[in-house]
Chain A
Amino acid sequence: MKATDHKPDDNKTIVQHVFDELARSNSQPLLDRLAEDFRFVIMGTGSWSRSFEGKAAVLAELFAPLREKIADRITIVPVRLIAEGDLVVVEARGRNTTRDGKAYDNTYCNVIRLEAGQFKEWIEYCDTLLVEKVLGPPGEAAK
């Protein structure tokens, strides 16, 4: 299928399915759709705020450290999707607990760009203050 064959409704459907599964703590549909040159950007000035370039870097330098902080599987519940062209915006709420028992329910606005059904770029806006207060910097034990 060509990139131009994926209409906004298709992209919205793809992203809805990925997030419906993330709400059930199943990240496999997301992992299956990451392009090799996938880019993840955490906006802001916090200790996690940076750009992760490439699927391998995202998995090793973001998802793995995050799993070190969070008990059980990561759960994110979609609230609303807004889509135009190759962009899908997902407002979402986390439903997670840190390994030392603290609630970590951040509020997210994710701007996702797709190409030929694959995730190419994900820009995340969230409460960066909550990240610092509950998760702490990457690589340190959860507070």
Chain B
Amino acid sequence: MSAAANKQLLQDIFAAVATGNRQPLLDHLADEVTMQVTGQNSWSQTFRGKEALVRDLYGYLATLLADGRRTVPLRFIADDDHVVVEAKGEMRTKAGIPYNNAYCLIYRLQNGRIVEIREYCDYALTEAVLGPFPASMKQRG
């Protein structure tokens, strides 16, 4: 797929994510997708495979965050098989504390599927509001 087509795909996915609907994102994750949470903090790790990503990262976040959370895209930058999305979270924890992180998400696509994600965000805010990622769930390797 062209850079333009990849960009359009991410724009369509984020049009849904911006309303709190994450299903199109989940539908476009390749089974072998990897997601790297960058940095050197408790959340930093690589999730390998859609099953691990959905269960161990997205599933854990769902236990912390209230329903209706949104990630609003601000800008898309596409180059060949990579699409960069700058975005703003609009979320609250289940205790009602605001959690509005600023994200730079880098997606690599292959045949209309997301095969790689790298996340950059404000991890000081992540740990301050969401706490550390549980050591028992930390991905190995």
Contact = CB atoms under 8 A, between A and B. Distances in A.
Q: Which among A80, A106, A109 has the highest number of chain B CB atoms within 10 Å?
A: A109
B29 interface: no
B1 interface: no
Interface stretch (B17-25, B48-56, B58-66, B74-82): B74-82
A128 B124 contact: yes
Contacts of B118: 91, 109
Contact of B120 (A84, A105, A126, A130): A126
Contact of B125 (A83, A91, A128, A131): A128
Interface residues of A, number: 28
A49 interface: yes
Interface stretch (A26-34, A40-48, A62-70): A40-48
Contacts, number: 88
Contacts of A105: 40
A60 interface: no
A21 interface: no
A136 B124 CA distance: 12
B15 interface: no
Given A44-B102, A130-B40, A111 B122 contact: no
Contacts of B27: none
A127 B37 CA distance: 10
A49 B79 CA distance: 28
Interface string A79-98: 01011100101010000000
A143 to B, nearest CB: 15
A109 B103 CA distance: 10
B40 A128 contact: no
A125 B104 contact: yes
Q: Which among A8, A82, A130 has the highest number of chain B CB atoms within 10 Å?
A: A82
A89 B125 contact: no
A109 B41 contact: no
Contacts of B39: 106-107, 126-127, 129-130
Given A87-B75, A111-B75, 8 more contacts: A44-B124, A83-B77, A84-B77, A125-B104, A126-B39, A129-B40, A129-B126, A130-B39
Interface of B: 3, 38-41, 44, 75, 77-79, 82, 84, 86, 102-104, 106, 118, 120-128
20 contacts: A43-B104, A44-B102, A44-B125, A45-B124, A49-B122, A80-B82, A82-B79, A84-B77, A84-B79, A87-B75, A89-B77, A89-B84, A107-B40, A109-B104, A125-B121, A126-B39, A127-B41, A128-B123, A129-B40, A129-B123
Interface of A: 8, 43-46, 49, 80, 82-84, 87, 89, 91, 105-109, 111, 123, 125-132
